């Protein structure tokens, strides 16, 4: 509806391009806003308090009617009165059941509150980090003396010794023990090292991991090889059901995790319909805990705050204990064994591949591979698991009778919470990010008072940087802001960075926006010309086509594959037929 209204303006007001430009920006500012409830705007200590409250209030609210004994126990855990527990319960139930419902009000002074100036709090944090959280293990008295010295030098009021004691008490015990006495001393605060902690319910714990697929795929246009894609998989540990799956040509990143989570928490029927797959995949919902390895993409600020906002605990595999993540690795290995039966497989290693020519036999596109994986997962869910002695589907059905999963209705709003974070200052012409200008008429009220505003929190989808999401400093929502020059084409971050590198190689000391997008067009022309002969060019073209359609402009979903004909004359729709997928011969034994 929005696109058609813009098109009518083009036809009726083509004589006034400036008016058209303003109208489009005005309409862009009227888009539905995405709510933001404090993930990135509250101080760390306030957010930590809200997280601690949610761990107590959430289970209490889920139990139904809260008895006096339960309320008294919660009050003791949180160090508040029973009346305050009832207030927190009401806020949780009337809100959305997320951590930000329990963020303290802005005027959080009074008994038990944080009444020190922000500058003093910063001094205390700095001194604790440099003097208390060290192997020298300085005493509280020594720390207080250093805080007093620094505050006097900076002309700040000196906090009491009790204020220092209270802030030390609020430190994470495991982190404090590790910093002061070492990892060995802190081991007693961890779970038992020799055995993976038990999981007793559906979505209590989900393990996520990535892998490069053992298969050469072809491009949509020329049906020629473009290399191996990546897959990100999320598995529910209790039922062994695969609850999230994303296939991309991009290397694993924090965005891959966000996309997998978005796929995990929403109903998959619409996605299956877009793929043209007739299969049952009812497994969906918010996980209670994500269990991850220690890769950099699993430790981003966006992932950490997004998970805290939605009540998802992040846990990391202990170093040197690979069996802690064995469940997801095992199911990925089982999937790859099935992939080895597809044309174009690379097998697990050169010895297995032998003289098999993977590129010559490659026939599936990324979209067709995704269809095949969807059917393969449905087949897996119906096979008896060697450890549980049940099918994953049956175990899931039994589990949700005990605990109904929490679903997410707005997939776009959920995904925005996990997009990479950028902070920028607002100028008269909007925002400038990596040489690209963004503007909307909705920014004008903020531009008028930009001198009194801090840097803005901005989210950007690396697959399509033609728009950004800007956090309203006065409210709790994200505003969608497009390019200032709307004629520029959508590009991905990788394409943008390549263009900047090319300009630098040409000797450009400064990069301007017009030159940047001219370079993008030149690169695309070269890629299109070389696509028929160069595998890298075909892969870049395919990545570009996916990047232009995969952003959360509508719903973050992968495009449905065309009904092409494979190299051997077989219809691609038949390639994804459920009957063509072999059953799992070996089910992971974890």
Instruction: Quote the pLDDT of residue 69.
Output: 86
CB neighbour list of residue 45: distance below 8 Å, 6 or more residues apart: 114, 121, 170
Instruction: Quote the pLDDT of residue 486.
Output: 92
**CATH assignment of 118-189, given 1.10.10, 1.10.4160, 1.20.140, 1.10.1760?**
1.10.10
> Where do the domains of the chain lie?
31-115, 118-189, 206-408, 421-459+462-551
Rounded Cα gap, residues 155 and 144, in angstroms: 16
Mode of pairing for the β-strands spanning 289-292 and 313-316: parallel
Where do runs of H (alpha helix) occur along 296-409?
301-309, 326-339, 350-353, 358-361, 366-381, 392-402
Report the SS3 class of residue 404: coil
Rounded Cα gap, residues 307 and 318, in angstroms: 20
Where do runs of H (alpha helix) occur along 404-451?
411-416, 444-448
| C-beta of residue 419 within 8 angstroms of C-beta of residue 302 | yes
Instruction: Quote the pLDDT of residue 352.
Output: 84
Q: How is residue 297 annotated by DSSP?
A: G
Instruction: Quote the pLDDT of residue 214.
Output: 93
Cα atoms in the Cβ-side hemisphere of radius 13 Å centred on 116: 21
Instruction: Quote the pLDDT of residue 9.
Output: 39
* Residue 139 vs residues 126, 164, 189: alpha-carbon distances, Å: 16, 11, 22
Instruction: Quote the pLDDT of residue 212.
Output: 93
Complete DSSP assignment for 330-349 = HHHHHHHHHHTTSTTB--SS
Pick the closest to residue 405 from 266, 292, 240 (CA basis). Answer: 266
Instruction: Quote the pLDDT of residue 231.
Output: 94
Tell me the pLDDT of the chain (590 aa) as tens digits. 444 443 443 343 334 433 334 444 444 444 556 666 666 667 778 888 888 888 999 888 888 778 888 888 888 888 888 889 888 988 888 887 888 888 876 443 444 455 788 889 999 999 999 999 998 888 999 999 999 999 999 889 999 988 998 888 888 877 888 888 887 777 666 654 444 567 889 999 999 999 999 999 988 877 888 889 999 999 999 999 999 999 988 888 888 888 899 999 999 999 999 999 999 999 999 999 998 888 887 888 888 888 988 889 998 887 655 545 578 888 888 889 999 999 999 998 888 888 999 988 999 988 899 999 999 999 999 999 888 889 999 999 999 998 889 888 788 888 888 888 899 999 999 999 999 999 999 999 999 988 889 999 999 988 889 999 999 887 678 899 999 999 999 888 878 888 888 888 887 777 888 888 888 888 878 767 765 666 676 677 777 676 654 444 443 333 333 344 444 444 444 344 434 444 444 443 33
Instruction: Quote the pLDDT of residue 504.
Output: 85
Judge: domain 206-408, CATH 3.10.20.90: no
Positive/negative CA dihedral, 393, 366, 517, 502:
positive
Rounded Cα gap, residues 210 and 499, in angstroms: 28
Instruction: Quote the pLDDT of residue 190.
Output: 60
Instruction: Quote the pLDDT of residue 305.
Output: 85
Three-state helix/strand/coil letters over 164-207? HHHHHHCCCHHHHHHHHHCHHHHHHHCCCCCCCCCCCCCCCCEE
* pTM of the entire predicted model: 0.59
Rounded Cα gap, residues 483 and 552, in angstroms: 16
Complete DSSP assignment for 43-64 = -HHHHHHHHHHHHHHHHHHHTS
CB neighbour list of residue 302: distance below 8 Å, 6 or more residues apart: 254, 258, 417, 418, 419, 420, 421, 459
Instruction: Quote the pLDDT of residue 560.
Output: 36
Rounded Cα gap, residues 553 and 196, in angstroms: 40
- Placement of tokens 């922000």 in the chain: 118
Report the SS3 class of residue 242: strand
Pick the closest to residue 338 from 82, 582, 8 (CA basis). Answer: 582
Rounded Cα gap, residues 123 and 121, in angstroms: 5
Buried b (16+ CB within 10 A) or exposed e, 168-204: eeeeeeeebbbbbeeeeebeeeeeeeeebeebeebbb
């Amino acid at each position: 509806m929005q696109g058609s209204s813009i098109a009518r303006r083009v036809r009726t007001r083509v004589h006034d391009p400036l008016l058209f430009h303003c109208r489009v920006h005005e309409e862009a500012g009227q888009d539905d806003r995405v709510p933001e409830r404090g993930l990135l705007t509250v101080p760390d200590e306030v957010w930590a308090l809200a997280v601690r409250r949610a761990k107590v209030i959430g289970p209490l609210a889920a139990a139904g009617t809260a008895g006096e004994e339960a309320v008294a126990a919660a009050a003791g855990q949180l160090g508040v009165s029973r009346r305050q527990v009832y207030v927190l319960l009401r806020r949780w139930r009337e809100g959305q059941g997320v951590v930000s419902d329990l963020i303290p009000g802005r005027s959080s002074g009074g008994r038990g509150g944080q009444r020190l100036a922000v500058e003093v709090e910063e001094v205390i944090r700095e001194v604790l980090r440099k003097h208390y959280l060290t192997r020298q293990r300085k005493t509280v008295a020594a720390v207080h003396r250093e805080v007093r010295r620094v505050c006097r030098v900076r002309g700040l009021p000196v906090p009491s010794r009790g204020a220092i004691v209270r802030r030390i008490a609020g430190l994470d015990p495991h982190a404090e023990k590790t910093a002061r006495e070492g990892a060995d001393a802190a081991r007693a605060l961890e779970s038992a090292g020799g055995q993976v902690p038990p999981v007793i319910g559906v979505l209590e714990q989900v393990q996520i991991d990535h892998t490069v697929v053992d298969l050469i795929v072809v491009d949509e246009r020329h049906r020629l090889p473009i290399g191996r894609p990546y897959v990100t998989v999320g598995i529910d540990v209790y039922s062994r059901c695969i609850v999230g799956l994303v296939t991309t040509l991009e290397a694993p990143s924090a965005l891959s995790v966000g996309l997998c989570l978005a796929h995990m928490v929403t109903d998959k029927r619409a996605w299956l319909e877009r793929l043209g797959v007739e299969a049952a995949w009812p497994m969906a919902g918010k996980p209670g805990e994500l269990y991850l390895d220690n890769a950099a993409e699993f430790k981003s600020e966006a992932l950490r705050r997004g998970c805290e906002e939605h009540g998802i605990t992040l846990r990391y595999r202990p170093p040197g204990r690979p069996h802690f993540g064995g469940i997801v690795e095992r199911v990925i290995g089982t999937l790859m064994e099935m992939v080895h039966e597809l044309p174009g497989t690379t097998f697990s290693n050169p010895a297995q591949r032998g003289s098999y020519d993977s590129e010559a036999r490659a026939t599936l596109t990324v979209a067709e591979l995704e269809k095949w994986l969807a059917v393969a997962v449905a087949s897996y869910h119906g096979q008896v698991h060697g450890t549980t002695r049940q099918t994953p589907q049956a175990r899931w059905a039994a589990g949700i009778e005990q605990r109904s999963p929490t679903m997410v209705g707005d997939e776009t709003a959920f995904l925005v919470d996990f997009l990479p974070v950028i902070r920028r200052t607002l100028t008269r012409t909007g925002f400038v990010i990596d040489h690209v200008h963004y503007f909307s008429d909705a920014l004008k009220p903020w531009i008028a008072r930009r001198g009194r505003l801090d840097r803005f929190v901005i989210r950007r989808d690396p697959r399509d940087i033609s728009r950004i999401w800007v956090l309203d400093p006065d409210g709790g929502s994200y505003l969608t802001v497009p390019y200032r020059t709307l004629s520029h084409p959508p590009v991905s971050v990788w394409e943008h960075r390549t263009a900047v590198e090319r300009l630098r190689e040409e000797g450009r000391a400064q990069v301007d926006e017009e030159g940047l997008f001219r370079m993008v067009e030149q690169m695309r022309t070269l890629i299109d010309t070389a696509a028929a002969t160069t595998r890298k060019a075909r892969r870049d073209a395919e990545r570009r086509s996916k990047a232009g359609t995969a952003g959360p402009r509508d719903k973050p979903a992968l495009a449905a594959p065309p009904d092409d004909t494979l190299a051997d004359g077989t219809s691609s729709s038949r390639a994804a037929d459920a009957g063509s997928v072999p059953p799992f011969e070996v089910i992971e034994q974890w």
